[in-house]
Amino acid sequence: MEIKKLSDEYIKDVAQIEKACFSKPWNELAIAAELKNEFSYFYVAVEDGKAVGFVGLYVLTGEADIVRVGVLPQYRNRGIARAVLKRSLEDTDGDVFLDVRESNAAAIALYRSLGFYDTGVRKNYYSEPEENAVLMKRDALKGGDAVADTRN
- Split into its structural domains, the chain has a count of 1
Domain that includes residue 128, residue range: 2-138
Does the residue 117 lie in any domain? yes
Q: What is the CATH number of the domain that holds 126?
A: 3.40.630.30
Q: What does the pLDDT read at residue 62?
A: 83
Q: What does the pLDDT read at residue 151?
A: 46
Q: What does the pLDDT read at residue 32?
A: 97
Does the residue 147 lie in any domain? no
pLDDT tens for each residue of 62-85: 899 999 999 999 999 999 999 999
Q: What does the pLDDT read at residue 142?
A: 63
Can you tell me the distance from the alpha carbon of 45 to that of 88, in angstroms, rounded to the nearest whole number? 11
Q: What are phi and psi of 138, to 5 degrees?
A: -115, 125
Does the residue 145 lie in any domain? no
Cα-to-chain-centroid distance, residue 76: 14
Does the residue 144 lie in any domain? no
Question: Is 109 in a helix, a strand, or coil?
Answer: helix
Does the residue 94 lie in any domain? yes
Can you tell me the distance from the alpha carbon of 49 to that of 14, in angstroms, rounded to the nearest whole number? 13
pLDDT tens for each residue of 110-128: 999 999 999 999 999 999 8
pLDDT tens for each residue of 20-48: 999 899 999 999 999 999 999 999 999 99
Does the residue 58 lie in any domain? yes
Do you know the residue count of the chain? Answer: 152
In this prediction the pTM is 0.88
